[in-house]
Structure 1
Amino acid sequence: MSKTVAEIVVDTLEKAGARRIYGIPGDTINHFTDAVSRSDLRWVHVRHEEAGAFAAGGEAYMTGELAVCAGTCGPGSLHFVNGIYESHRNGAPVLLIASEVDRPQKGFDFPQDVDQKKIYEQHSVFCEHISHPAQARRIVAMAAQAALTKGGVAVVIVSGDMFQESDADSADWRVHRPRPVARPNDEELAELAELVDQAKRVTIYAGIGARDAREAVVALCRKVKAPMVHTTRAKEWLEPGNPFNVGVNGILGNRAGLNALEKADLVISVGCDFAYTQFYPDRKIVQIDIDPTHLGRRAPIHLGLVGDARTTLEALLSKVREKSDEKHLNHHLKEWQEDLADYEEAGDEPDPSLIHPQFVANILNAKAASDAIFISDVGTPMVWMLRHLKANGSRRFLNSLLHGTMASAMPQAIGAKLAYPDRQVIAMCGDGGLSMLMGDLLTLVQEDVPIKLLVFNNSSLGFVEMEQRVEGLVDHFTTLENPDFSRVAEACGITGFHADNAEQLGSAMDAWLAAPGPALLDVKVNRMELVMPPKVEVSQVASTAMFGVKAVFDGRMKEVVSLLRSNFLK
């Protein structure tokens, strides 16, 4: 039976498991959206295509299933770029239908003509044109298969007139999702086991690549008395109920996580491609990764092995001798408990004149559902999430840790909520991030997406301000003249709440979480909070002091006093 290319594309997407398509309709995809309207796929009409790519990425990341976005030629498809980069770097299986002008107009600088392949092939696992109707099902199936099996964005480029053409569509092209296992060979495992047996102080450094290997990680830690440090992205899988967990490494990490790596004489890095070289220990490192190109690219390593985390660690377990010395483990477990106490106490004494953002995060942790999904904007909301929200095995977390983009929290939460309508989905937004894509507040109402938005309103680009101060600079161009976001929300049809001081926060948060439909809580938080790394360098202290001197001479004495009160005189 003959079908149009638009109908073939829609049918193939449905058979690949897609349930929603995010985008804005128009010109070159009108025949495609018409086919969508006659299918079981749901079209989610966003107000900006970047939000559509974020939303598709949020859905795909949380479910592991295919999510789709689609855009018109020229500006329509180009607006997806940043959200596509974010989704791709998160490993989210997203498929983008990027349309182009009709084929007779290609090559003549026709209005809105853009070479989509040159743009998208640099951040995708698959990027191809449908050049003939007979290719339609095959290319879409291969694109979906690449997104699902390689973990990333696939792009299918279609000229507007191609959607209207027909084909007999007799070949049965479909998506295959194999799940192979891989591990190092026996000689390599024996070499690793010998290194473990010889080491006195072993630390496991586990990343998101070990998300399916929690039990094997715990078993290895137990056998060799090793503390486990995890990356920020691995928090939700490796932290809950793990008696060997000592936290996180890096600028967003904690003292125990940093010290457990620095004081080991052997670090086993598994499923971890942590980017910041300055936080790798100057120690003997063994790296286990499924991708051989990742071995040794962040720090010099002693041994590099290819394998999936669970299979490799399970094979290693029987080859290593059990250790009895627990001094290394117990020392860093004690440090971790001290770090946790510091986090729990942060901002616990309400100041009637301000709200510490850590206090907001602690209250949210106590009041949010045990299976809530938390998604944060980049910057300080991400820090408060990672440090103050407890992972319990049911909660989910998503941050822009690899792409580091503003404005991702709200739209990613849209995708997560549509995928899990019965779960509480909370977007922890910066005031800069929310205002960047604020038009998509209207999407929450139009598409009936009852997410909860928590705005950390410090009237500044807080993380940028902190970076400038730590470098000894007086902060410039970071101030935000904000509206009352709760009133903006209400103007859009969203229930709005506001808190100006700590005494108001508890009741406001209760009402916000209980409100039916989408709701926004605007919290005025202290602007002068610093994100303190686990190891404060003398140069950072000196630079912050230099900021104070410069700010005083610039007539900003009140800010210097507030900075000292908030961070050094508690």
Structure 2
Amino acid sequence: MKASDLFVRALENEGVKTIFAVPGEENVDLLNSLKDSDIRVIVTRHEQGAGFMAATYGRLTGQPGVCMATLGPGATNLITPAAYAQLGAMPLVMITGQKPIKTSKQARFQILDVVELMRPVTKFTRQIVNGNTIAPLVREAFRLAIEERPGAVHLELPEDIAREDCEHRIFPVVGHRRPHATQVVLDEAAAMIESAQRPLLLIGAGANRKRICAALTEFVEETGIPFFTTQMGKGVVDERHPLYLGTAALSENDFLHCAIERADLIINVGHDVVEKPPFFMHDGDKTVIHVNFSPAEVDAVYFPQLNVVGDIAHSVRQLAQKISEKSHWDLQYFMTVKTEIETQLSRYFMDTGFPTLPQRLVQILRDTLADDAIVSLDNGMYKIWFARNYKCYGSNTLLLDNALASMGAGLPGAMMAKMLYPDAQVVAVCGDGGFMMNSQELETAVRLNLDLLVIVLNDHAYGMIKWKQQGMGFDDFSLDFGNPDFVTYARSYGANGYLVNSDQHLQETLDHCLGSPGVHLIELPVDYSLNHDILNVQLKNKACAL
């Protein structure tokens, strides 16, 4: 059969239902083969949009999302989504085209060594040089994409190879069970936890899986050990739980770190050094037990004393069975810290000033949205406030990126979430800088008939870097810019646009948008003037002897 047809059969064999694409002429054979397939091709307005949507599919389903682009500039535009998926442990399969490799009539026009470009940001990258290798390469690419740690893989299909005749052979999809941690190491971990005076549980991004969520909830209930999360571990255990202390949105010196510093043992479940550190280890400071699918990658601030390596859900359940709450555990201070954290975080929840404080927006959204609503964040100053202040009631209900932390992913991520969960409320929260990096995907959202709300926080600047600039004692310099009329801009794509002009108007507009079909964009002027005072001055001067 034709090689491009075989490629499609191999994708169907992997269960692929959708490909997000900006096709080029080097993809036309594959595109034509997809015409007679049940696989849906969704054309986006930029390769980043396609890549971010596919990566978010992987994040939310655990199965590889698939995107496609042409050679040269199309392929280079996938580098950022590739790194986003690779660092964030999201299974992603990228397919790119290429000029003929057996003969050439266009010299080096548009030709880059895409395989080598992809190598640093993928688990696997390969050019297909023979049609008969398509089926095993597709199977291997998908296998590697979901194997722990999940990540990005890439296949390049040159147009002359796509047109070859080849053998019709498909390889079966064979699953496997993850190995379990040994009883010896589980017994050692249990003994360390029981002998500790002040144990704490930390939940990281790698624990954000359905089976692990249930296991960790049981662990917390049965042991009574308080827990906190990394940014990408939010929602694994319902954050309304009385033993939830908070989220480490900063690496040090937040109120939460009072509890972390007092702990003598931390059970770190599902974290790796790719995510921004939730705390810094120091020699003799505390004992850390690393519970993950693979051993800890050691660096200067993370060097756990014990690795519990194996299927995380199994390890957590085994530990819960082996551990009983101990009378010598001294956990009261953690509850005192929890009370102080909640007092500090709620200080501006009811501030009705305008422009809106990010803390106020977080609280309005939490009060307004359903328990299972999904908020997809772009990257900017507001991400810190959402990580600290927004309580998640379920896994993956706050989509933020604390690995690559790329701007431009918030809107495509929200679009993918809405496609997967059409009955859920989905809100994208973007800064004006990040939104404009992929704002053209509003057209894609309108074309797909999505019911989606996009909130653009407008401060006419790269606000996160302004905060960093101020914190380092530098002058305010070179970070301001102008913006379009976002209301008119949204309407030009067929979406609905609204400019909020007061706190009451924000609530009214949110209620209207969430109750109406279609794509809605709210432009919200935001006030970041308290960032430095709260996150630099007040936290620096806090006292942990609460």
Corresponding residue of 2:361: 360
**Aligned mates of 1:433, 1:168 — CA distance in 2:** 46
Corresponding residue of 2:188: 191
Moved more, 388-397 or 427-436: 388-397
Q: Give the secondary structure class of the aligned counterpart of 1:237.
A: coil
Q: Give the secondary structure class of the aligned counterpart of 2:86.
A: helix
**Aligned mates of 1:74, 1:109 — CA distance in 2:** 14
Corresponding residue of 1:206: 203
1:95 is displaced (CA, Å) by: 0.9
Q: Structure 1 residues 267 and 408 mapped into 2: Cα distance closer, same or farther (>3 Å)?
A: same
- Asked whether the 8 Å contact 1:426–1:451 carries over to 2, the reply is yes
**Aligned mates of 1:534, 1:279 — CA distance in 2:** 18
- Asked whether the 8 Å contact 1:432–1:460 carries over to 2, the reply is yes
Counterparts of 1:99-110 in structure 2, within 5 Å, are 99-105=97-103, 109-110=107-108
Corresponding residue of 2:160: 161
Counterparts of 1:303-452 in structure 2, within 5 Å, are 303-325=306-328, 328-351=330-353, 353-393=354-394, 396-452=397-453
**Aligned mates of 1:538, 1:388 — CA distance in 2:** 15
1:97 is displaced (CA, Å) by: 0.6
Corresponding residue of 1:27: 25
Is 1:236 matched with 2:235? Answer: yes
Deviations 1:410-442 (A, max 9, x none): 112222222222322211111000112222222
**Aligned mates of 2:121, 2:105 — CA distance in 1:** 24
1:500 is displaced (CA, Å) by: 2.3
Q: Give the secondary structure class of the aligned counterpart of 2:413.
A: helix
Q: Which amino acid aligns with 1:301?
A: P
Deviations 1:453-509 (A, max 9, x none): 011111111111000000011121111211221111011111111102223211111
Q: Which amino acid aligns with 1:311?
A: H
1:146 is displaced (CA, Å) by: 1.5
Deviations 1:527-569 (A, max 9, x none): 423067778589799xxxxxxxxxxxxxxxxxxxxxxxxxxxx
Corresponding residue of 2:475: 474
**Aligned mates of 1:476, 1:106 — CA distance in 2:** 50
- Asked whether the 8 Å contact 1:59–1:67 carries over to 2, the reply is yes
Which of 8, 15, 38 lines up with 1:10 in the alignment?
Answer: 8
Deviations 1:210-240 (A, max 9, x none): 3333454455445655321221111121244
**Aligned mates of 2:75, 2:26 — CA distance in 1:** 11
Q: Give the secondary structure class of the aligned counterpart of 1:213.
A: helix
Q: Structure 1 residues 199 and 106 mapped into 2: Cα distance closer, same or farther (>3 Å)?
A: farther
Please report the RMSD computed on the Cα atoms of aligned residues, expressed in angstroms. 2.6
- Asked whether the 8 Å contact 1:230–1:238 carries over to 2, the reply is no
Is 1:117 matched with 2:115? Answer: yes
Q: Which amino acid aligns with 1:303?
A: L
Moved more, 190-199 or 105-114: 105-114
1:109 is displaced (CA, Å) by: 4.8
- Asked whether the 8 Å contact 1:250–1:279 carries over to 2, the reply is no
Which of 286, 290, 300 lines up with 1:287 in the alignment?
Answer: 290
1:360 is displaced (CA, Å) by: 1.6
Q: Give the secondary structure class of the aligned counterpart of 1:426.
A: strand
Counterparts of 1:485-500 in structure 2, within 5 Å, are 485-500=486-501
1:111 is displaced (CA, Å) by: 0.2
Q: Give the secondary structure class of the aligned counterpart of 2:140.
A: helix
**Aligned mates of 1:395, 1:312 — CA distance in 2:** 22
Q: Structure 1 residues 220 and 392 mapped into 2: Cα distance closer, same or farther (>3 Å)?
A: closer
Q: TM-score by structure 1 length? A: 0.87
Sequence identity percentage? 25
**Aligned mates of 1:398, 1:448 — CA distance in 2:** 22
Corresponding residue of 1:76: 74
Q: Structure 1 residues 308 and 485 mapped into 2: Cα distance closer, same or farther (>3 Å)?
A: same
- Asked whether the 8 Å contact 1:258–1:534 carries over to 2, the reply is no
**Aligned mates of 2:450, 2:106 — CA distance in 1:** 42
Gaps of 5+ in 1: 542-570
Is 1:132 matched with 2:130? Answer: yes
1:409 is displaced (CA, Å) by: 0.2
Q: Structure 1 residues 531 and 50 mapped into 2: Cα distance closer, same or farther (>3 Å)?
A: farther
Q: Structure 1 residues 138 and 297 mapped into 2: Cα distance closer, same or farther (>3 Å)?
A: farther
**Aligned mates of 2:326, 2:537 — CA distance in 1:** 34
Q: Which amino acid aligns with 1:434?
A: F
Q: Which amino acid aligns with 1:337?
A: T
Q: Which amino acid aligns with 2:190?
A: A
1:337 is displaced (CA, Å) by: 3.2
- Asked whether the 8 Å contact 1:277–1:298 carries over to 2, the reply is no
**Aligned mates of 1:265, 1:192 — CA distance in 2:** 14
Q: Give the secondary structure class of the aligned counterpart of 1:279.
A: coil
Q: Which amino acid aligns with 2:5?
A: E
| Runs of 4+ with deviation above 6 angstroms | 531-535, 537-541
Q: Which amino acid aligns with 1:401?
A: N
Corresponding residue of 1:49: 47
Deviations 1:334-361 (A, max 9, x none): 322332343334241312x422122122
Q: Give the secondary structure class of the aligned counterpart of 1:294.
A: coil
Q: Structure 1 residues 416 and 277 mapped into 2: Cα distance closer, same or farther (>3 Å)?
A: closer
Counterparts of 1:556-567 in structure 2, within 5 Å, are none
1:56 is displaced (CA, Å) by: 0.9
- Asked whether the 8 Å contact 1:254–1:339 carries over to 2, the reply is no
1:296 is displaced (CA, Å) by: 6.1
1:306 is displaced (CA, Å) by: 1.8
Moved more, 418-427 or 116-125: 418-427
Q: Give the secondary structure class of the aligned counterpart of 1:477.
A: coil
Moved more, 197-206 or 525-534: 525-534
Q: TM-score by structure 2 length? A: 0.91
Deviations 1:86-143 (A, max 9, x none): 1222222211111111113569852011111101122222212221111111211211
**Aligned mates of 2:175, 2:456 — CA distance in 1:** 39
Q: Give the secondary structure class of the aligned counterpart of 1:405.
A: coil
Q: Give the secondary structure class of the aligned counterpart of 1:165.
A: coil
> Normalized per residue, which structure has more helix?
1
Corresponding residue of 1:566: none
